[in-house]
Amino acid sequence: LSELRPWLSGGTAATAGGGGSTGGGAGAEKVGRVRCSRRVWVLLGSLALVFLTSLFFTISLRGGIGFNYLEPPGWEESRRVKLVPNYVGAHRLSPADTSQQKTCACSHCVGDPGISDWFDENYEPDISPVWTRDNIQLPSDVYYWWVMLQPQFKPHSIKQVLRKLFQVIPGRSPYGSWDPGRCLRCAVVGNSGNLRGSGYGATIDEHNYIMRINLAPTVGYEEDAGSHTTHHFMYPESAKNLAANVSFVLVPFKTLDLVWITSALSTGTIRFTYAPVKQFLRVDKDKVQIFNPAFFKYIHDRWTKHNGRYPSTGMLVLFFALHVCDEVNVFGFGADSRGNWHHYWEENRYSGEFRKTGVHDADYEAQIIQLLAKAGKITVFPGK
């Protein structure tokens, strides 16, 4: 406007005054217009240059559109990769392309990201499956959910009970950080009748960790169920003595279960909960672990999605393995070929009762297992 103002005022004066000859006024007006036109174009060009320079600078700061540029070291925050966890000071990897990063030396690794969006969205590698001295305090929502699993039992003070228990057992997680050079292969062995006649025994025994549930006898069933065990998951009412090299993993449903395990490993004062329980338990105290209620609720919230009152023990053990192992193979889950749900060591004419109790949703849990297999996170051996 400052450039145009002299021309506008000059033109107006010539027209209004009417002085001088007509030819002279017309020439002066023409020269003024040419000069003004040049100034306008110079001004517009300068404004366009400033605008384009600002636009280019803004785009560069935001990452560019179709441009390749080098970022200074540390400019972008490292992305966390979901890995088999180390519960205290987990080692993290932050490569530029996590989708191609192997987290173990197995052919299929549980921790490898970018294979299944469904799995990656629900899998939380940092939550510890084991209740330890380091995570003794439960979040309030976890505590109230857990104590209501069996509300007929008056809860004890968790801190006091666990402090006494951790004077008897180590109270630490034995599971270290993942190692890209390691292939920790785990067999989760359920109790389904489909194990009978399967001939899986030798295959099961080849694994680094072999996890069994509740009674799960092996003597006399070695050909189909294997003979080795590294982890045995039980609750007080199903507990039995174990060999010295086997980890007893208590699945607690109430604070009384914690009082019982402390007693069973020391004074022997508790003999009954809602059923008779072992007064003394012969297991390796240094290998006793306690299933974490926070992990219990995580499975209920993220994976079984509140189908059933709470997940079955089989589900708890399966996801325990998915958080401590590199490769997970599943045996003895589901019904046999005739639709029976009996255990491999017995004939049960009430073979469908597990599906009717309403405590666990067997059909939904079967769908979860199928999805995990489809995602390449587990391999299911169907049995007979």
Catalytic positions: 310, 360
Q: How far is CA 6 from the centre of its chain?
A: 73
d(CA 250, CA 254): 11
Contact 40, 4 (CB under 8 A): yes
Contact 201, 223 (CB under 8 A): yes
Reduced to 3 DSSP states, what percent helix, strand and coil does the chain have, rounded to the nearest 5?
Answer: 40, 10, 50
Residue length of the chain? 384
Q: What is the dihedral of CA 156, 158, 161, 165, to 10 degrees?
A: 150
Those residues whose C-beta lies under 8 Å from the C-beta of residue 375, and which sit 6 or more positions away, are 115, 116, 118, 119
> Alpha carbon of 57 to those of 43, 48, 65, 73, 88: distances in Å?
21, 14, 12, 20, 44
CA-closest candidate to residue 236, choices 194, 176, 286, 277? 277
> Alpha carbon of 272 to those of 192, 268, 276, 277: distances in Å?
28, 11, 4, 5
d(CA 257, CA 355): 26
CB atoms closer than 10 angstroms to residue 287? 19
In the block, which residue shows the tokens 């255990």? Answer: 343
Report H helices in 201-245: 201-205, 222-225
